[in-house]
Amino acid sequence: MQVATGYPEPVLKLRDLLNTYLDPEKVAVVLRAFDVGNTAHEGQTRKTGEPYILHPVAVAQILANMRMDHESITAAILHDTIEDTPLTKDEITRQFGPDIAELVDGVTKLDQMKFRTRVEADAESFRKLMLAMSRDLRVIFIKLADRLHNVRTLESMTAQSRRRIARETLDIYAPIADRLGMNSMKHELEDMGFANLYPWRYRTITEHLNAMTGHRQEIVSNIMEALKIKMNEASVPCRISGRQKSAYSIYKKMLAKDLPFSEVTDFYAFRIITQAEAHCYLALGVAHSLYQPKPGRFKDFIALPKSNGYQSLHTILNSPYGLPVEIQIRTEEMDIMAIKGAAAHWQYKTGEMSNGSAEVRARNWLMQLVDVQRHTGDALEFLDHAKSELFPDEIFVFTPKGKLIDLHQNATALDFAYAIHTDVGNHTATALVDKVDVPLSTRLTNGQTVKIITDPKVQPRPEWLEFVATARARTAIRHYLKSLQQEDTVVLGLQLLEKALNARGSSVEAIPNDRWQHFLKENHLDRQEDLFHDLALGSMLANFVAAKLIPDSILFPGQADVEEAITIAGSEGGAVSFGACCLPVPGDKIMAFVSTDKGLVVHRVQCSNQREFRKHPDRCVDVAWAPITKGMFPVAVRVVARNTPGVLAKISTSIGEAGSNIETVAQPEANPETATLLFNLSVKDRDHMARVMRRLRRNSNVIRVNRVG
């Protein structure tokens, strides 16, 4: 191990702390990292004027106080080198190994993310943040420690920078620390963020808190002493401490309940730390015998831990001093987990993780988010899901067999079904809550027992998205609905490519497998279905793909005339749309244009835009109506009628008698004698449209009828 001489005081302090729980050879790795980092950052200073290397050392000190492993401490010291110095990831790998290099690289990528506000956060960066956390939680521990030291030293920044950093601290990093169960770090991030975002509010609340605590110091001391005496009498092995509520927690309570400061009274709490779980419940009984508990203010987070692994008993008592007494009761192990959360797993001599540990729960949460993002194509949609998971208010409900399921506070019976399994949710027919049949949109409450009855014929419906509250349910429903559209687009894309290959004397099945694999790899596609989907949506052109698969040099001679039009039945779903400029209906002569944003769009041959389409022959597709079409098709009709009272009602009656529905109606012009009405009607085909127009012409109020477009 290197001699300490020459190391600055912060490094000596870090070394001394590490020596209390790490082996000497691991401490030596950390000191070697300082030497490398110090050389790399040579000449760089922070805005405070101090050498830049002292910032990474301070970050490492924060992690050392959490008793993190030597790889995390080493990566913390090197975390800014890849971005801000000539040092490369390969060089770090060579000197410190791949694990430390991956940690440094992971933190570097997080450092490059620029968040604005919780609402306007960079969604793609947030996705990367969550994925980086899922690979190695230590990446986010280092980033949180980095953020904590930054907010501790904000005084050298401009007011605008302080507010920006404070906002993203409150909106992004403090909630992540909370979700990982790292309460100590969460509280400091919140208070420092609050102090810099709203300095006047922070100062005012802090001054009031200090004044109030001073006035109540004797009362607080008396309550503390009474608790100690009672616990000793009951032979409860424990230690008792008091703590003042943070300024930010007081501020949030004032906002949430719309209370003035004078009415927020429970801002002093006591913590009873015992030796075993049984002692916790014994201590609870003793506390309740000392002061009367407030009804409905008891929470058992030991039997029902929070999703971040937090365990404790919470109760609020009425003291004889008119001061509510909040008490938290937990074991030493629970206290460590409450302070350090998921980071406690990396402590020296950690041992095995239990299934309920914060680290396991945090990883399960992150794995759920990873599963969500796999089925979410939109980064903004993923961010919405992630935020709903970051800011949960939880409820606990039971399956008929007694298994506990934790959900968001506003979760419905359908959310419960998806929490059991995606297939259960997708086929939910009926929900029974405490043996009573309820709508799937019913909001659940704590302690209820929920039974789900499924039916294989039931499928997710778009209206389900209007009431589900959990990310898992929303993602599963959207994924199912998108998969239906995907099936439509795959079929259409296959038809487009088949048609283009037929024109070159070949077919999809005739393409050799090795040529398929080469083409897919060259275009970064995993499957043929992905190609067909892109073709249907216009992202790729069928003629271009066909030319790549069957170059001119290998065209089969004499077969280039094998070509059929693609048939349109009206049942293609989102894979096919109909031009709003001409509104084609079955029976019209049609063509299609492959749009880059809408996919295959069907137009009438005499559409006013047809000339523009023909300028891009590679995007024009021959199509024809199928012998049997399905559904109703929109058509625009202009009616010139006599301007008399009730004329619109009479014309509407004629349209209804012809079996058509009115989608929209507008009156672009009118005079004392006539009124021009524009109808968007729905018809089955061209013959049906003709019947509607004949019926209108027989109406005595109608002067003229013609189709628009």
- Residues marked active site are found at 83-84
* 144 neighbors 176 (Cβ within 8 angstroms): yes
Count of CB atoms situated within 10 Å of the CB of 120: 9
* CB proximity list for 138: less than 8 A, separation 6 or greater: 68, 69, 71, 72, 75, 103, 346
Which tokens is 75 given?
Answer: 């990566």
Q: Where are the alpha helices (DSSP H) in 609-665?
A: 610-613, 647-657
CA nearest to 209, candidates 258, 257, 261: 261
* 298 neighbors 276 (Cβ within 8 angstroms): no
Distance CA 709, CA 704 (A): 16
Distance CA 489, CA 169 (A): 43
Distance CA 13, CA 60 (A): 11
Burial of 260: CB neighbours in 10 Å, binned 0-12, 13-18, 19+: exposed
CA nearest to 532, candidates 524, 278, 541: 541
DSSP 430-498: EEEETTEEE-TTPBP-TT-BEEEEE-TT----GGGGGT--SHHHHHHHHHHHHHHHHHHHHHHHHHHHH
CA atoms within 13 A on the CB side of 361: 23
Which tokens is 47 given?
Answer: 């805005």
Count of CB atoms situated within 10 Å of the CB of 64: 25
CA nearest to 188, candidates 223, 216, 212, 152: 152
Measured in degrees and rounded to the nearest 5, phi and psi for residue 152 equal -70, -20
* 26 neighbors 1 (Cβ within 8 angstroms): no
* 448 neighbors 415 (Cβ within 8 angstroms): no
